[in-house]
Amino acid sequence: MFSAEDIREDFPVLEHVVYLDNAATALSPRSVVEVQADAEFHYRANVGRGVHRLGRMATHKFEEARDVLLKFFGGESGILAFTRNTTEGMNILARGISWNPKDRVIIPLQEHHSNILPWFSLEAEGKIAGVDVIGGTDGHIRVEDIEDAITDDTRMVAVGHASNVFGTIAPVKEIAKLCRRNDILFTIDGAQSAPHLPVNLKDIGCDYFCFSGHKMMGPMGVGGLWVKDGSPMPNPAYAGGGMVGKVSGHSFTTAGGAAQFEAGTPDVIGAVGLAEAARYLTRLGMEDVAAHSCALAHRMIDGLSEIDGVSVTTPADDELVGAVSFTVDGVHPHEVAYFLDEAAAIMVRSGEHCCQPLMQKIAPAGGGTVRASVYCYNTEDDVDLLVATVEEIANMVM
Ligand code: PMP
């Protein structure tokens, strides 16, 4: 098992702050920054186009990065396209599929806007008949709820692998089985699982998986879309250089594989940095990363639950990805976050966490929740300082 203390020097800002906003964006270790600087200085060139040596080198490194990420997500099956982030991946999918106007999509209520609004947009444009929103507000996605909502017209189920509000984990393997039995497509929003859990996409059995590099120690502005079947999708979200098969007259065919999703010059340097992030995490061991995040989440839940006036929103599940939401009676979540920074240089997120449909139910007065989220460089001391400082805040209003 790695030691959080030992890796902290890879993240220089930790000398100055207690960083507990990892579910929003994680920190990049030195090696991720260094490989990007090396790429900038030594082989910055466009990929898949020119034949000169820098172009060949950049193309080699870009394709190598793709292989590293495919391996990180469980092996050689499927194709992996670089995107800007999870949100872009979800939109590329929603736009790319050839919908029948009677199709329906099922999503849980607790989803992030990135896995709600692309489907609502299709509904508003009449491209699909509707979006069926299932599930409650306890952080748990139940296979039975999805099964009950399935009709002959259900074409897609789209689920967040891990919740950015609760830190809970969805039973994606069982959902995949259910979808396969009913011949329904299954999309996973992997924004919060990719950083914390060992993810084997072939084993899970989904059709699509989107993730963001910046949440798994990679650079900001690069992420990925994994697709089980790489044949060309009917409606490319973006058309232009790089994604084309053949242009004839005013029409064109789309390339198969990852290229169809990578119109225009990709973020080559970002992809190289993201691959180094995946290597870094692999060196730590994803099983151990998962165990570390989960143990710290439980320490947070235990400590915060003891404080009068604090309500912990995250359920104490056996497995959690390290994000814990809570509120302090009589104090606005933004005030809590502000005080944590001012008093102890603790960075947390406050607000609706891009989950308005859920927040309208669990925090109807507005303001959302406070969310503290850990990663592999956080320690028990970080958690204990958070708990002690939240207690100070709660005592001030008692
Ligand atoms: N889904 C979930 C569950 C998330 O937590 C986030 C980021 N908060 C996103 C999607 C969107 O990620 P990005 O902003 O990187 O597209």
Among 45-49, 90-94, 150-154, the range scoring the smallest mean pLDDT is: 45-49
pLDDT, one tens digit per residue, over 266-284 is: 999 999 999 999 999 999 9
Q: Which CATH number fits domain 4-29+285-397: 1.10.443.10, 3.90.1150.10, 3.30.565.10, 3.40.50.300?
A: 3.90.1150.10
What pLDDT, on a 0 to 100 scale, did the predictor assign at position 251? 95
Average pLDDT over residues 138-145: 98
Q: What is the pLDDT of residue 15?
A: 97
The answer, yes or no, to whether residue 113 has pLDDT greater than 90, is yes
What is the pairing mode between strands 208-212 and 223-227?
antiparallel
For the cut 90, the answer to whether the pLDDT of residue 76 exceeds it is no
C-alpha closest to that of 160 among 108, 123, 205: 108
Task: Please give the pLDDT value at position 310.
Answer: 98
User: What are the residue boundaries of the structural domains of the chain, listed by start?
Assistant: 4-29+285-397, 31-283
Q: What is the pLDDT of residue 75?
A: 79
In 121-175, DSSP assigns E strands to 130-134, 154-160
| Binding-site residues, ligand 1, Cβ < 6 A | 23-24, 85-87, 112, 114-115, 160, 164, 189, 191-192, 212, 354
Looking at residue 284, its pLDDT comes to 98
If you average pLDDT over residues 296-316, what whole number do you get?
A: 97
For 225-265, how does the pLDDT look when each residue is reduced to its tens digit (9 = 90+)?
Answer: 999 999 999 899 999 999 999 999 999 999 999 999 999 99
Which pairs with CB-CB distance under 8 Å and at least 24 residues apart come from 285-291? 285/1, 285/2, 286/197, 286/198, 286/199, 287/198, 288/1, 288/2, 289/195, 289/196, 289/376, 290/196, 290/197, 290/198, 290/319, 290/321, 291/1
pLDDT at 71: 97
Q: State whether CATH 1.10.3720.10 applies to domain 31-283.
A: no
pLDDT for 77: 85
Q: Looking at ligand 1, which residue's alpha carbon is closest to its atom 6?
A: 191
pLDDT at 47: 94
What secondary structure letter does DSSP report for 234?
S
- The Cα 93–Cα 91 span in angstroms is 5
DSSP letter at 336 equals H
In Å, the largest CA–CA distance within the chain is 74
CA atoms within 13 A on the CB side of 266: 31
- What confidence tier does 387 reach under pLDDT thresholds 50, 70, 90? very high
Residue 48 confidence (pLDDT): 84
The answer to pTM > 0.95 is yes
pLDDT at 49: 79
pLDDT at 111 over 90: yes
Region 56-80: mean pLDDT is 95
- Residue 98 scores a pLDDT above 80: yes
Percent of the chain with pLDDT over 90: 96
Mutating to test ligand 1, I would choose from 192, 197, 208, 348 the residue with most ligand atoms within 8 A of its C-beta, which is: 192
Atom number, ligand 1, closest to the C-alpha of residue 214 = 15
The chain-wide mean pLDDT, for the chain, equals 97
Q: How far does residue 215's CA lie from ligand 1's centre (Å)?
A: 8
Closest ligand 1 atom to residue 354 Cα is 8
pLDDT band (50, 70, 90) for residue 11: very high
Q: How far apart are CA 218 and CA 167, in angstroms?
A: 20
**Catalytic residue list:** 354
Say if residues 214 and 185 touch (Cβ distance below 8 Å): no
- Where is 385: in which H helix or E strand? helix 380-397
How far apart are the C-alpha atoms of 167 and 165, rounded to whole Å? 6
User: Quick one: which H or E segment has residue 185?
Assistant: strand 185-189
pLDDT value, residue 289:
98
Q: Determine the distance separating the centroid of ligand 1 and the alpha carbon of 278, expressed in angstroms.
A: 18
What is the model's pLDDT at position 62? Answer: 98
* For the CA of 353, the nearest atom of ligand 1: 8
